[in-house]
Amino acid sequence: MVIDGVSRVRGPGPYWITKLSSIPLTWYAPFARATIKSAIVVLLVFLVFMIVVSLLTYPDLVYHTIASAYQNNPSLLNFIKDTAQFFAPLGGIFSPITSALLAAAPGFRDFALALGSVIRPLDNLDNTGKYLVFQNVAAWVSALATLFYGEYRKGFRYKKARRK
């Protein structure tokens, strides 16, 4: 975008969907672009919060999901075994990383369990209550992020140079 001869390029973000040619809404109503971006941000915050809270209230979810995927799909298990055998000679390169991750794992597990006990009351809610909590948090996070970003951007306004 070029304004007053100055190019302003935005970084990557969740707004790539508004640039797709398969969404004709932005062709007919360019003012709807802000609405679409806002909706995308709210949905992404909602999904991320829902996944994080679900993982904190039930930490074994990842383990059980991967274990059932291996049990139910032998071709996936064979692929993982073959990949591990292929990269076995490179194991010495990654051994310091592996040892660091194994040393940090108990602390991370204890942190997740402690945080999960704080979030445990959400586990007792029915699905409608969980949905309402997630939706409310997503809306508040998006609104507060917008307000803080607006305050942050006030310091970057363009100032006209004085003529002498």
Check residues 99 and 145 and name the one with the higher pLDDT. Answer: 99
Q: Convert the pLDDT of each residue in 106-161 to its tens digit.
A: 898 888 778 777 777 877 888 888 888 888 887 888 788 878 877 766 665 555 66
Mean pLDDT, to the nearest integer, of 67-96?
A: 87
> CA-to-CA distance for 117 and 56, rounded, in angstroms?
8
**Residues 25 and 36 sit within 8 Å (Cβ to Cβ):** yes
**Residues 133 and 122 sit within 8 Å (Cβ to Cβ):** yes
- Could you tell me which of 26, 18, 35, 41 has the C-alpha nearest to residue 149? 41
Which of 1-5, 6-10, 32-36: highest mean pLDDT? 32-36
Structure confidence at residue 2 (pLDDT): 46
**Residues 59 and 112 sit within 8 Å (Cβ to Cβ):** yes
Place of tokens 């951007």: 153
Place of tokens 């062709």: 27
Q: Convert the pLDDT of each residue in 13-54 to its tens digit.
A: 555 555 555 555 555 566 666 777 777 877 888 888 888 877
**Residues 128 and 40 sit within 8 Å (Cβ to Cβ):** no
> CA-to-CA distance for 117 and 94, rounded, in angstroms?
34
- Indicate yes or no: pTM above 0.85: no
Structure confidence at residue 36 (pLDDT): 74
Tokens for 8?
A: 């302003």
Structure confidence at residue 148 (pLDDT): 81
Start-end of H helices in the chain? 25-28, 32-57, 61-72, 74-86, 91-119, 127-153
Structure confidence at residue 60 (pLDDT): 81
The answer, yes or no, to whether residue 85 has pLDDT greater than 80, is yes
Structure confidence at residue 15 (pLDDT): 54
Structure confidence at residue 28 (pLDDT): 54
The answer, yes or no, to whether residue 87 has pLDDT greater than 50, is yes
